[in-house]
Every structure is written in structure tokens, then in C-alpha cells.
Amino acid sequence: MKIFLLFSLAFLVYAEVPDCPNGYLKFDHTKTRVVFPSDGNLQIFPDNYVCQLQITVPLGYFATLTIDVESANPGNSAPVKVIDQTNQAEDIFRATAERFYLVSQGGSINLSTGDSKTQFRVIIEWKQLLFLGDPTATVINFVANLYELTQQFTEIQALVYPKDWTGELSMDASKGKSLVQTWAQAYQREPAIIQGVLNINGNGSLAVYANLSLPILVNPIATYDASNTGNQLPQQVYGPASSYLLTGGKSKITLSNDKNKLEQTKNFGRTGYFASQNFGTPDRIQDFEFGLTGVANSTTRTIFHLDFITMYFKGDEDYLTIAVFEDGAQVTERN
């Protein structure tokens, strides 16, 4: 009797990946399309391969990253991490043609394979931002997804808030104007969209704009001397979008969409503004919802004084309600 044994052998074929001198490789828009390491089938990277792929994005462009990742033994540490221009990072254990987007100034992909037997490929494509309408019709051109572009800005950054996020951004307006645009969204049981600035440290003048004032950047909610904000912060902004424009200096600003931090009153003498999400525009919807907390652990009662600068009521649809809470229980309400 003859016995035939059928068997197969599996081999791991490692890719001939480029060397990574000094721990990083740089890619820029001089090529419209870059594939790393190569087209075709995914190939396995060597163990303990560590490299940062630095992707620069010039003003007026955005970059699309199409990423594929497979790991035979990923462990607890992601072999791939994408970092955007605001230093927000996303760990990737597995991906199939997953897309990421970078705007000016760019970001990076950090590779650290360990012994995970990682297969990886990224396709990088740079494209120009497209204007909505005639770019010669206005001083400031309004582009898709709330990105604005003019020659007067030397720096533009965009921030899409994760849930309850607080972080610091650096702004450099020493050679022109620096613009930060933010976008927030509502989460379950939190229908009101609140975001804002917690701290400013540096120099220059920082103007804060609400929602639909973005296309023309007029009528700021507040303007701050970055070197002396006193008790003016935190400052809340109601609505999904806001802009922060720095002129004449360098500053670090701490932004947040954590309501608890934005409502907190740390010291007596705090000042600030409440403004509707369409402040500065003729939009008929001018709603807002804000909260303030008293000074914590103080034996002195916190008293807030409200001064109404501009408020027009027409018909039964317009109203203002002020409610007061103590220890989580409502004690009074005024309409």
C-alpha cells in the first residue's frame, strides 16, 4: 500500500522596504502620488522596523492617505499610528483601504512593527482645495468643509473635536495671520454643542469668531491680548464651528469641548460673553444655551451679573430663560 502525503509550506516573504535613516522619511507634494513601500500585494515588514513617515502639506492643499494594515500578531501596541496637524493620533491594528486626510501643515505615520509580522501600505495623494463660487468675488474665499484660504494667512490649522477633548495648539503669527478652525458635534444626551478656549499663553491679539461668521470673519465674540487675559477665560462658543485668528505674535491656546471645564469659574471677577451660534450674521436663528458654575469650595456665594448688549424679541417664538441650580437641584427660573 502506498500512502501519499499532501502538505503545504507557508513562507513569510519580507518586503524590501526602504531604509529609514535617522528614523524618518519625508514625503511632499512635489509628486502628486506616492506609494510606500510599493504597489501590488501587501508585503510583510521586517520585525522591529521603526520609522516615521513625515507628510508635509502646503497651504492650499490637502493630502489623502489610503492605508492597508494586516498583522499576524499585533499584540497590545498598534504597529501603525496616524498623527494629524493638531497632534491627534489614531492607532491602527487593521485597515483595508481606510482613508485619512491631512491639511496644512501635514502630519505623520509612525511605524513600529515589533514582532507583529505587519503588512502595510500607504498611498499618499495631494490635491488642491476647491473654492465654492467665484474666488474673486470676496476678500476671503470660502472653501469646502469650512477651510478658508487667502494669501493673508501664513498658517491655517483645523481641529475636529473628539468627545470631551482638551488640548493645546501652537499659533505663529509673527510673519502674518494664523487661523485655527474648529468643528464640534453633539453627542448622546448632550444636544447643546459647546466649545471654546480655556487658556492663552504668549503674545499677539487673538480674536474669537462664532459659527456662520466664518466666511468673512467679522464681528468677533471677543478679542484678547494673549499676554494678559486676566479673568476673561474660559470663553464658551455655542454651535458646531468657530474660528480663532491670531495676529502679531506667537501663542499657545488651550481649546476644549468639555462643558464642565468651560463652565467652571475658578476665581471671582470672571468676565465673558454669551453669543448665539450665528452671531454677527443676519441669520434668523440666533439660539444659544450656556451654563456657568460658581467658584468651587468657596464660602462666599458666587453672584453673576448679566448685561444684555443686543437682544431683540419678536413674537412668541423668541424667549430667554435663566435657571439657577444648587447642588444639582433647580431652585429658580426666570423667563
317/250: higher pLDDT: 250
326/128: higher pLDDT: 128
pLDDT of residue 144: 38
Q: Do domains 21-127 and 141-263 have the same CATH topology?
A: yes
β-strand pairing of 194-202 with 235-238: antiparallel
30/126: higher pLDDT: 126
Q: How confident is the model at residue 187 (pLDDT cuts 50, 70, 90)?
A: low
Torsion of CA 208, 211, 212, 218, to 10 degrees: -10
88: left (phi over 0), alpha (psi -120 to 50) or beta: beta
* Average pLDDT rounded to a whole number, residues 77-81: 92
Residue 205 in this model has a pLDDT that exceeds 90: yes
* Minimum mean pLDDT range among 54-58, 153-157, 210-214: 210-214
Q: Where are the domains of the chain?
A: 21-127, 141-263
* Average pLDDT rounded to a whole number, residues 89-115: 90
**Does 37 sit behind a cis peptide bond, omega within 30 degrees of 0 on the bond before it?**
yes
pLDDT in tens, 145-163: 334 445 567 777 878 888 8
The structural architecture, per CATH, of the domain 141-263 is Sandwich (2.60)
Highest mean pLDDT among 241-245, 283-287, 331-335: 241-245
Residue 214 in this model has a pLDDT that exceeds 50: no
Q: What angle do CA 100, 101, 104 make, to 5 degrees?
A: 150
Separation between Cα atoms, residue 146 and residue 35, nearest integer Å: 29
The C-alpha cell that represents 57 in the structure block? 502639506
Separation between Cα atoms, residue 183 and residue 88, nearest integer Å: 14
pLDDT in tens, 264-286: 887 777 787 877 776 666 666 66
Distances (CA, A) of 140 to 26, 81, 132, 212, 311: 32, 35, 11, 14, 29
- Name the CA radius of gyration of the chain, rounded: 25
175: left (phi over 0), alpha (psi -120 to 50) or beta: alpha
* Minimum mean pLDDT range among 14-23, 110-119, 132-141: 132-141
Mean pLDDT of the chain: 78
Q: How confident is the model at residue 324 (pLDDT cuts 50, 70, 90)?
A: low
* Average pLDDT rounded to a whole number, residues 220-243: 88
How many other C-beta atoms lie within 10 A of the C-beta of residue 307?
5
CATH assignment, 21-127: 2.60.120.290
pLDDT in tens, 117-128: 999 999 999 987
Residue 63 in this model has a pLDDT that exceeds 70: yes
pLDDT of residue 39: 78
pTM for the full model? 0.54
